[in-house]
Structure 1
Amino acid sequence: MRKPSPRRKPFSKPLADFIDVCLGPSLAAQGFATSDIIVAWPEIVGERLAEFTQPLKIEWKRKGPNADPDARPEPAALIIRVESAFALELQHLSPVVVERVNAHYGWRCIGKLVLKQGPVRRAKPQKTPVPVVREEDRQRIGSAVEAIEEDGLKAALARLGTAIIGTAKTSDPRKRER
């Protein structure tokens, strides 16, 4: 068995692997152990709640001098920024949100929510460029996925092929069609 060449570059890593390394110190200052609650907020609370809310900080209770160091910490308070028109609804849904956050972490780490009214920053949706694909390329893609029986998979692979061919043509300015 051959060993890889020492000059060979290591495999690239996903960007998500570097988020906690880069943002870790500032997240820790806000009480977050990792970025996962911020990144997964729409999955934790649902798209509708995530549209009007944003987790800001987790406040942990300080341990007293006589506290057992091996004991599990008291549940924390999750501070959430919420738009003022939505605050009353979130207040009513707070037990559900606490339960979902705790289910996400797998233990009872959040005991209550603290709502701070204010504007919520929203990511601006980016328009995906429509790939330009010639008719002959469409026919090639169609013949490549023709043997697939499952309609959903066939359609997904056809979209993938269209995106790959369209991206390859538009990413290199020399290869763009005029």
Structure 2
Amino acid sequence: MVRKPLPDPSPQRRQRGFEPAGGLVKAPVRAVGETRGFAVARLLTHWAEVAGEDLAGKTRPVKIGYGKGGMGATLTLLVKAAEAPMVQMALPHLKDRVNAVYGYAAVSHIHLTQTAATGFAEGQADFAPAPKVKPVPAPDPAILARAQGVAEGVGDPALRAALEQLAQNILSRPRS
């Protein structure tokens, strides 16, 4: 009589280790995006790269509606009412950038949906303001003198300037 080995009671473990979270949610995000008309999920996830920082701060993609033949889609963007005229002027450029993501002329029209600053629902139109640029403080004169001393013997002016800049960066770095 030949005995069959008993099944292992421990659950199956993956041998690859940790998986990135993006890989685990890729399929559900794509399925939800396709129900809203976004066949290319990159349009939603990387909107700032697609539209550019300026337009991405003013707009949000809402949906894409396709015609009967599947060509000539209409992209609907959510935009604040005060920003709509400026966005309207940039639509031809934006359409070219969106079509570059698809790889063909998928979007033929862009429709703007305007909203108030608070939006239709809580958090729906939460447009981020432009990031504030911090002024660069003047370097300490003692650090400048030490950096010039480091690059003192270099004959090439471009190389000397680069070494001085490197020394300034290293010497002014906060110590932790």
User: CA, structure 1 residues 19+86, in 2 after alignment: closer, same or farther (shift >3 Å)?
Assistant: farther
The answer to whether 1:26 aligns with 2:23 is no
Normalised TM-score (structure 2)? 0.57
Q: How far off is 1:123 after superposition?
A: 6.6
- Which amino acid letter does the alignment assign opposite residue 121 of structure 1? D
Tell me the CA shift for residue 8 of structure 1.
Answer: 5.7
- The 1:86–1:11 alpha-carbon spacing in structure 2 relative to 1, beyond 3 Å, is same
Q: Which portions of structure 1, spanning 4 or more consecutive aligned residues, are displaced by more than 4 angstroms? A: none
TM-score by length of 1: 0.57
Structural mapping, 1:58-137, within 5 Å: 58-63=64-69, 73-118=70-115, 119=119, 120-122=125-127
Name the counterpart of 2:6: none
**RMSD of the TM alignment (CA)?**
3.1
Larger helix proportion of the pair: 1
CA distance in 2, matches of 1:33, 1:24: 8
Aligned partner of residue 57 in structure 2, secondary structure:
helix
Aligned partner of 2:62 in structure 1 is 56
The CA deviation at 1:35 is: 2.2
Q: What is the number of residues matched between the two proteins? A: 120
| Distance in structure 1 (CA, Å) of the matches to 2:14 and 2:49 | 38
Amino acid at match of 1:100: R
Q: Provide structure 1 residue ranges, at least 5 long, that are not aligned to the other structure.
A: 1-5, 64-72, 125-148, 163-178
Query: Aligned partners of 1:34 and 1:103: how far apart in 2?
Result: 11
Question: Is residue 40 from structure 1 mapped to residue 46 from structure 2 by the alignment?
Answer: yes
**Cα deviation, residue 107, structure 1:** 1.2
Which of 1 and 2 has greater Rg? 2
2:74·2:108 contact (CA, 8 Å) conserved in 1? yes
8 and 74 in structure 1: CA distance in 2 versus 1, 3 angstrom threshold: closer
- 1-structure distance, mates of 2:89, 2:128: 26
Displacement after TM superposition at 1:29 (Å): 1.6
Q: Unaligned 5+ residue runs, structure 2?
A: 1-11, 120-124, 130-162
Displacement after TM superposition at 1:121 (Å):
2.2
CA contact (8 A) 1:19 1:35 kept: no
Report the identity percentage: 27
Asked if the contact 1:55/1:80 (under 8 Å) is kept, the reply is: yes
Per-residue deviation, residues 83-104 of structure 1 (Å, max 9, x unmatched): 1111111111100000001112
